[in-house]
Structure 1
Amino acid sequence: MTGGRLGYRTNGNEIFLDDVTLSVEALGITLDTVGAGIDLNAPRVNGAWSVGAVRYSKSPLNHGVSVDATSGQSLPSYGGLSGDFDLSVRTHLAGGCRQGEGLRLDQDVTIHSANFLYIEDGNALALRDITGAYQLIDLRVDVTADPRGRPALGLTTTSLTGDLSIGSIELGGQGKRFGAVDLDFLFEDASFNGQAYTNALYLQGGGHADAGSQGMRLSTEWSLADANIAYTEDGNRVILSGLQSWGRGDVTLSVTRSEVRNGTQFYDGLRIGFEGVEAGYRINGLRVASEDSELQGGTELLLALGFYPAYEFELDGHLTLGPGGTSGEGITINSDVQIRNGKAAVIAAPYDEGSGEMSQKGLWLTELDYDSHVRDMTIDLTDEGLAIIKGEAWGTMNIGNLRVGDKDTGQSIGRFELQKYETGSSMMIMPGGAGTVCAGGMGVTALAC
C-alpha cells in the first residue's frame, strides 16, 4: 500500500495518518478446525510501514486533504512514524461469550524482531532491536452492558502475560543511546485493598458530554498483578521489581478545537479525558544486576520525577495533545487534572517477601488533593535530545495529614499546602549520562531551568 490515509473525526475535527505506506509478506498461513473452534496459524509475518505525518484539522474545508485549503500550507503535524516487524502469530477463534453468544479469542505472538521510530523535523526517537512475546487467554467480545448498565461492546479477558525487550533507545543526531529496557508483565484477576479487580474494556459512543455528540467512551477496569521493569546502560542494570496497579473508571476520547462549549474550555488536538477514575499502584523495591538479587529500597529516588513508591488516588480531568511544537512538527500539551483523596508514600517500609504483601508502614501524604494545570507545553525532538518547554503551569497540592507509620492510622505531623506557578520553564533530556564523553556512551542527562 502506498499513499494511504486514515483519520478519526469527531464533531468536525479530525486527526489523521497521512501518506501511509505498508508492505507485508505472510507465507504459509494455515486455517484448521480444532475442537469447537478454528486455529489460524501464521508462522512468519514480515513487514515494514511508515506514516509521513500525523496531522490535525479543524476546518470542514480540509477534510480529506493534507494542505490547508485557505493558506495552501501543510496542515499542522505531530510528526511521522515508521517501523518494521518479524512476527509469528497463532490465534484460536471460537464462539460463546460471558453472556451467551459472542466471540472468544486466544492468541500467542512472538516478536522475533522489530523497530519503531518517531520522527519530528528530521530528528528521531528510535526503539531498536525489539523482541518479545505475549499470550492472551480467553478474550471475550460481546455486545453487552458495562458494570453501570450502559450499552457497550465489551472486551474481557482472563489473563494477558508477556515480555518485551528494547535493545536500544536512541535520540538525537549524535549517535548516543539511553540504554536498553526489558519488561515482563501479568494482567489477571487480583484483589487490592480488599477489592476484586479484573481486566475489561467497554467501548461506548460519545466522548466528553460538552464536546459534542460524537466521540468515544471507554469504561475500563484493570488488574496488573505483577510486572518488572529493567533498565540497562553500559552493562549496569537496575530493576524496578514487583510493580502492581489496579483501577476502574471512564476514559473519553474526542478530537476537539480551541473553544468554549457549554461552559467547558477545549483545546486543539486529541482530548483524553478522565472521569471518576479510582486507581493505584505500588512497587516492591529495587534489585540491582539480576532478578535474583536482594530486594532493597531506593524507589524514593524517583520522587523528584513525581513518582511515589505507592499511590492511591481518584482522578478527573483531561490531557489534550495538540499538533506542532515550538516550531514545525511536535506536540503541544494543554491539561487540567484533579486528584482527590490521595494516599502517597514518600518512604515505604520494605516489602515482606515472606507474606507477599507490601507494608503499610512509612511516611505517607494522606487526604491528598492536587490540582494541576498546564498551558502550551511543547515537546520537540532536537539534534541534542528531547526539549520540553512549559508555556505556563500552576497547581496546588493540599496534604490533609502527613502521617508517620500506618497510612490510615499513623500519627499526623500536620497539614501542608504547596502552591507553584511556572512560566517558560524548560527541560532538555539527552542520551548519555555523566562522564560519557565518547560517542555511544549510554545513560540519561537532564538539564532544567
Structure 2
Amino acid sequence: MHRNLLLVPLLCFSLPSLAMQALDDDSLASVNGQSGISMEISGGGWSAGNVSYSEDGKTVALKDVSNRPASGSTATSTTKIDVVGNQMVVEHKASPQQLAVNNIEMAGSSKSFGSFRAFYTLGATLKVKGGGASGVSGIGLDDSKLSLTDVTFYYRDNGFDLIVNGMSFDAYLNAAYVDIVSGGSGKEIKLDLGNLRLVANIGGISLDLAHSDAVSGVPATPGSPDTRDPNYSKSFGSLNLDLRLGGSLSIGSGGASGQGIRIRPNLTISNSLFQYQDEGVLRAENFSGVLSSTNGLTFDLESDGVGTYAQVKFPDLRLNATLGGLIIGNASNQKLGSLGIDLNFLDDGAKQNWLKLRPGGDPNSGLKGVTADVSWNMVNSSVSLTDNGNSMWFSGLRTNGTGQITLDLTKSCAAGASTSCYAGTQSDMSKGNYNGHFDGLRLGLNNVKGSYSFDGLRVGTANAPLQGGTELLVLMEIFPAYDFTLNGQLTIQPGGNVGSGVRYNADFYVTEARAAITVDENGRGLWLSGTSYDMHFRDGTLDIASGAAGEKGGVELRKGTYWSKLDVSDVRWGDRATGTSLGRIMLKRFEQGSSLALSSGGAGALCVGASGGTASACGAAGGRWEDRGNEGVSVKLKSVFVRDTAVDTAVNGVATDEKRNQVLWETNRSGGNGTGAQLVIDNFSTSDGDPNNPNANTYGVNADLNLDVAPTKVKVKSGANAGTNVTPDPLGFAVNGRITFKEVNVDRLQNVHPTGGAVTAMYGIKAQNADIRANLTATPIN
C-alpha cells in the first residue's frame, strides 16, 4: 500500500543559517504534489468457516464463505479518494473475483437451502457530499455509478447447477441521500433514491444436471469429454432492463414480532424499458409503476412444529404498473397498447399475506432446495388493457389462499435409476399419476387451496358501469370466478421449440373446484360445481417467436403430448352450491401438437355482418365497416385431437382409457356418479381429411380471436327512440372470432343405462370443412 499526500510546508529549514524561515508566495508556487489517497490491495482473498445471523434465538448460517480471485492466486483492487469542491470522490476498480458460499443452513435442521457461487467484477465512482435529504445531516450522492460486470451466478442444489450468465448491473445515482429518520416504531435508515437509473442485463439462464463442475466441466486435458449437461448450452432467453427509479426505501429494526428487520418501500418507476428476448421479443417501451407499503415488509426467524423458517410478512402492499407500448413477437409488430395492473394485498382476519421459507425442497429431491409455505389475500384489484386510447378494466379482482410450494433442481431416471434421481412408484411414466421427476427446475405444488373472482368489465373509465363480457374468455379457460385445491408439479428446462425459450413437463391435479361460466354481482350464474380436473403435459415448449415472413409471431405455447380429464359433478344454474343441477358433465381430451399463440395487434379494420374487404364492398353487402385501430391482442388456439386406436379398459360398455377424447353427460342419478343415464360422445378426433394420407392430423380445430376495446353501433331497445342508434357509439369489449377445421370424426354416440349397459345410437359421425365466424361486442346495458 502507498499513499501520496499533498504537503504544504509553511516553514522551511535553511541549511546555511540553520534557522527556519517562512516561504514567500513565489517559493510556494514552485511546490508540486498530488491530492487525495490512493490504495492498492493485492492478495489471495479471504474465507470464513461460518457467518451467522441470530434473532430471537434462531440462527441462519452461511458455511464456508470465501471471496477469492476468479483466476490465479492473486486479486488486486485500487481505491482512490479525493476531495473535489464540496464532494469526496471515491473511485474503485478491482480484478475479477469469486464469491462462494458452500451451504446455507438453519440451526436445528439437517436440510439446507443449497449453495452458490458468483464470479464478478466490481467498480464504482462515488461523489459523496455531506447533508442528507434535509441538507443538514446524512450523506448525499451525485453523479455516481456502481457497476457489477462479467457476472456469472451458480446456484447448486444436490449437485445440480442453475447458471445465470452474461449478467451486468449498472446503477447511476444522482440526488440520492441516506438519512437516519424517525419512522415506524423507532429510528430508520432512509434511502432516498433521487434520480436512480438501473441498467441490468442477463445474457442467458441454463442448467447443468450432470453432477459436474459447470465452470471446469470442459477438462484441461485435450480430447477429454465435456462433462457438462447438454442443457448448459441452451438458454431460457435473455432479459434487458433500463429502469428509472425514484422514491425511497426505509429500513428499521424489529420484525413482525421481537427482533428482525422491517423494510418500507415507496418506490416509483417511470419511463423505463423492459425486454425479454427469445427468437422474438416481449418488450414494454414505457414501463412505469409504484411499489409501496405503509406497514412495510418484515423479516423474522421463527419456528414451529415442523422446524425453523425465515418469514416474510407484508400486511399491506400495493403494486401498480403499466407496461406501455407493449410489443409481442416480431419487433416490427403493431403494439398491443398498454397493459396495466393494480394489485392490492391486505391482511383481513385469517386471510393474511406471508411467506415462510424452509430449508430443503421436495422430500424426494434430496436434502437441499427451498420450501415455501404461502398465504395471500389480494383485494379490490384490477387488470386493464388500453387499445388505441380506449381502456377496459377487469374490475374487482380478488384472490386468497394458502399452500406449499417447493423448488428443486431435479433429474429423471430415464437413463437408469441412481441416487441422484427419483423414479416414483408408477412404472409407466406416461400415466397421469406418474410421480417421478423430470430433468430441470421443478416447482412443486402441495395443497394450494385458493379462489379468485372479479366483478366484471368496465370500459371507458375505471368507474364506468359494470358489464358482462368475461364469458367470451371461457374458451381460453379464463373463468369469472374459480375455487380450487391444486396439487402437482411444473418442471422447466432451457431451450424452446426453436433456439432459446422454455421446455416443460407438468402434472396438475385440481380438486374441490367450482368454476363460473357466467356470474352476476350476487354470485348467481352458471357454475361447474364439484369439479375435478387432471391435466398432464409432456415435452411442451414456450417461446417468443418472431414469426415467419408475413406472420406476427408472439408468445407460442405448445402443449406437446397433452391429456386431461374434467369431471363436473353438477352443472348448476343459480347459486354455486345450491342451484338447480343440470347433471354431470365429463370431458376427456387427448391431444398432440396443440398450441396457443398470443401476439400484439387486434382485428384492425373489418366488415361486421357481411363479407367485404373494403368499406364500400362491406356496405354494398349489407355490412358495417369498423376500424378498430392498430392495437389490441390476437389469440390463436389450435387443438389437434388424437384418436384412441384400442380400448384398454371399459366400465358398463364405456371406454375409460386415460388418453381418449370423450364427452359424457349424465342425469337422473340415484346415487353418486355412474348411477344415472348417460349420453356419451366417444373417441372424437380431428383429421386433415386428405384421401392420399388418411393418417395426416396437423390442422386440428383452430380458433382465432381478435380482442379489442372499440366503439360499436348499439340501438335503443325501447321508448320513444327505440330502433335509433345510441350516440355517441358506446365503447365495448370486442371479440372477432373464427373457428375452422377440416375434419372432425366421432367413433360412436352411446346411450348408457346404469344397469343395462351401453347401446351405440350412431356410429362413424363425420363433419368436414367448417368455417364459423362471429363478431361480438359486450357493452353496458344502460
> Does 2:479 align with 1:308?
yes
Q: Which amino acid aligns with 2:600?
A: P
| Contact 2:210-2:229 within 8 A present in 1 as well | no
Unaligned 5+ runs, structure 2: 1-147, 219-224, 414-420, 425-434, 548-552, 607-626, 639-782
Asked if the contact 1:275–1:316 (Cα under 8 Å) also holds between the matched residues in 2, the reply is yes
SS in 2 for 1:2: strand
SS of aligned partner of 2:149 = coil
Structure 1, residues 235-255: CA drift from partner, whole Å, max 9, x if none?
222110010000001011111
- Deviation per CA, 1:373-392: give whole Å up to 9, x if none: 00111122222223332220
* Residue 446 (str. 1) matches residue 612 (str. 2): no
Alignment of 1:240-389 (within 5 A): 240-259=394-413, 261=422, 263=424, 264-349=435-520, 351=521, 359-384=522-547, 385=553, 386-389=555-558
Q: CA deviation at 1:262?
A: 5.4
The code of the aligned residue for 1:132 comes to G
Change (3 A) 1:150 1:368: farther
Alpha-carbon separation, structure 2, partners of 1:365 and 1:183: 28
* 2:221 is the counterpart of 1:37: no
Change (3 A) 1:235 1:8: same
| Distance (whole Å) between structure 2 residues aligned to residue 52 and residue 144 of structure 1 | 37
**Relative contact order (C-alpha < 8 Å, sep 6+): which is higher?**
1
CA shift for structure 1 position 444: 2.0
Offset, 1:286? 0.4
Cα deviation for residue 228 of structure 1 reads 1.1
Q: Which residue of 2 aligns with 1:158?
A: 315
1:354-413 Cα offsets, whole Å, 9 max, x none, are xxxxx2311111111110000111122222223332220001011111111111111211
Match of 1:354 in 2: none
Is the 1:18–1:66 contact (alpha carbons within 8 Å) kept by the matching residues of 2?
A: no
Q: Counterpart of 2:334?
A: 176
Alpha-carbon separation, structure 1, partners of 2:299 and 2:544: 39
**Superposition deviation, residue 78 in structure 1:** 1.0
With over 3 angstroms needed to count, the CA separation of the structure-2 counterparts of 1:173 and 1:140, relative to structure 1, is closer
Q: How far apart are residue 186 of structure 1 and its match?
A: 1.2
Distance 2:228 2:371 in 1: 35
Which stretch shows the higher mean deviation, 361-370 or 59-68?
A: 59-68
Residue of structure 1 equivalent to 2:167: 20
User: Who is 2:278 aligned against?
Assistant: 120
Deviations 1:102-152 (A, max 9, x none): 11221210112321111114x221122011112123321110136x65421
Q: Which runs of 5+ in 1 are unaligned?
A: 352-358
Extract structure 1 runs of 4+ deviating beyond 4 A: 65-68, 70-74
Larger radius of gyration: 2
Query: Residue 190 of structure 1 aligns to a residue in which SS?
Result: coil
- Answering whether residue 585 of structure 2 is matched by residue 416 of structure 1, we say yes
Distance 1:254 1:70, change over 3 A: closer
2:345 corresponding residue in structure 1: 187
The verdict on how the C-alpha distance between 1:27 and 1:234 changes in structure 2, with shifts beyond 3 A counting, is: closer
Contact 1:145–1:154 at 8 Å: present in 2 too?
no
Of Structure 1 and Structure 2, the greater strand share is in 1
Q: Which moved more, 1:259-268 or 1:201-210?
A: 259-268
- Distance across 1 between alignment mates of 2:600 and 2:191: 42
1:227 aligns with 2:398: no
Looking at structure 1, the residues matched to 382 and 544 of structure 2 have their Cα atoms a distance apart, in angstroms, of 28
Distance 1:11 1:415 in 2: 46
Secondary structure of 2:212's counterpart equals helix
Greater displacement, 172-181 / 231-240: 172-181
> Does 400-409 or 171-180 show the bigger shift?
171-180
SS in 2 for 1:304: helix
- Residue in 2 aligned with 1:355? none
The alignment's C-alpha RMSD in Å is 2.2
Determine if the alignment matches structure 1 residue 427 to structure 2 residue 591: no
Aligned partner letter, 1:59: A
Task: State the match for 2:707 in structure 1.
Answer: none
Deviations 1:315-346 (A, max 9, x none): 10011121111232111121000001001111
- Alpha-carbon distance between aligned partners in 2 of 1:425 and 1:175, rounded to the nearest angstrom: 24
Match of 2:169, SS state, is strand
Instruction: Confirm or deny: 8 A CA contact 1:51 1:81 kept in the other structure.
Output: yes
The farther-off stretch of 277-286 and 378-387 is: 378-387
Q: Deviations over 1:53-94 (max 9, x none)?
A: 111111233423697925898622111111111101412222
| Per-residue Cα deviation, 1:148-188 (whole angstroms, up to 9, x for no partner) | 65421011122002411111211213332222111212110
Tell me, in whole angstroms, the C-alpha distance in 2 between the residues paired with 1:79 and 1:377: 16
Is this contact kept in 2: 1:340–1:368, CA < 8 A?
Answer: yes
| Alignment match, 2:200 | 49
Is the 8 Å Cα contact of residues 495 and 502 (structure 2) preserved in structure 1? Answer: yes
| Percent pairwise identity | 29
* Aligned counterpart, 2:364: 210
Q: Distance in 2 between matches of 1:332 and 1:347?
A: 34
- The amino acid of 1:21's aligned partner reads S
Paired with 1:240 and 1:9, the residues of 2 have a C-alpha distance of 41
1: distance between equivalents of 2:203 and 2:216? Answer: 14
Q: What is the CA–CA distance in structure 2 between the aligned matches of 1:66 and 1:329, rounded to whole Å?
A: 22
Instruction: Provide, for residues 228-286 of structure 1, a one-character-per-residue CA deviation record: whole Å limited to 9, x for no partner.
Output: 11101122221100100000010111112233515142122211111011000010010
